[in-house]
């Protein structure tokens, strides 16, 4: 198996039911807190040249960080909480609020459980990445939402000071997936004046 980790190019959080307020740029929030439904936006650019037809699996990796100072939040009743990842059909704006939820493709959504006992959340987004590759939908990013009353969860953003815990899109391939250098590609060049 061959692995390619893609860096997150953009990430942001916003409250679905409030006006946009700038939040800590190193953290992303998703779930419910103080009557606010926080949404999380991520964008990954798929590089040209990867042999995507050999894609086995795509995983979204999100790393939990403390909301303020100290330890990660968890309680017995919130040990498992439901969230979803959707591909966006519209371009993201932090001022979109609740309208963002109407700009998702629900048929391609993927549900997942956040286990408070783990610091990293892995979400299988293979169906979403295959839809991008196959042209079923354009890659306009991902929107992560919490289920009804899902507790607020804090993840590292693409601007987090620790590069190792920034969001990643992990692509797993059955064969080596890197593009061959042009010096090895059979081609014929015809120059006309």
| pLDDT above 70 coverage of the chain, percent | 80
Q: Name the phi and psi angles at 55, rounded to 5.
A: -65, 125
What's the pLDDT at 21? 60
Give the pLDDT band (50/70/90) at residue 169: very high
Residue 93's pLDDT is what? 78
How many Å apart are CA 143 and CA 19, to the nearest integer? 18
Q: What is the CA radius of gyration of the chain?
A: 19
- What is the domain partition of the chain in residue ranges? 2-184
The C-alpha angle 11, 107, 90, rounded to 5 degrees, equals: 40
Written as one string, the DSSP assignment of 88-133 is BSS---TT-TTHHHHTB-GGG-EEEEEETT-SEEEEE-HHHHHHHH
Q: How does pLDDT run across 35-78, given as a tens digit for each residue? A: 778 889 999 999 887 778 889 999 999 999 987 644 444 443 44
pLDDT at site 122: 94
- Confidence at residue 31, expressed as pLDDT on a 0 to 100 scale: 87
- According to the model, what pLDDT value does residue 43 have? 95
The predicted structure's pLDDT at residue 106:
85
The residue among 12 and 181 whose pLDDT is bigger is: 12
**CB 60, CB 167: distance < 8 Å:** yes
What's the confidence (pLDDT) of residue 185? 58
Predicted local confidence at residue 117, as pLDDT: 76
- Taking residues 104-127, report their average pLDDT: 88
pLDDT at 50: 73
User: Which residues 6+ apart lie within 8 Å of 135 measured at CB?
Assistant: none
pLDDT score for 163: 94
- Residue identified by tokens 């303020």 is 68
For the beta carbon of residue 120, count every other beta carbon within 10 angstroms.
12
Q: Any alpha helices (H) in the chain, and if so which ranges?
A: 99-102, 126-133
């Amino acid at each position: 198996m061959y692995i390619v980790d893609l860096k997150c190019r953009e990430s942001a959080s916003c409250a679905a039911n409030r006006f946009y307020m700038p939040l800590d740029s190193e953290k992303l929030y998703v779930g419910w807190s103080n009557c606010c439904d926080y949404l999380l936006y991520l964008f990954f650019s798929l590089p040209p040249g990867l042999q995507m037809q050999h894609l086995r699996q795509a995983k979204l990796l999100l790393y939990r960080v403390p909301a303020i100072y100290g330890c990660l939040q968890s309680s017995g009743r919130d040990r498992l909480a439901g969230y979803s990842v959707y591909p966006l059909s519209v371009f993201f704006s932090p001022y979109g609020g609740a309208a963002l939820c109407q700009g998702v493709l629900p048929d391609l959504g993927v549900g997942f459980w956040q286990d408070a006992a783990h610091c990293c959340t892995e979400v299988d987004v293979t169906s979403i990445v295959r839809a991008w590759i196959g042209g079923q939908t354009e890659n306009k990013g991902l929107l992560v939402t919490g289920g009804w009353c899902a507790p607020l969860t804090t993840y590292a953003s693409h601007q987090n000071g620790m590069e190792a815990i920034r969001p990643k899109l992990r692509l797993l391939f059955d064969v080596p997936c890197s593009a061959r250098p042009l010096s090895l590609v059979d081609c014929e060049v015809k120059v006309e004046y």
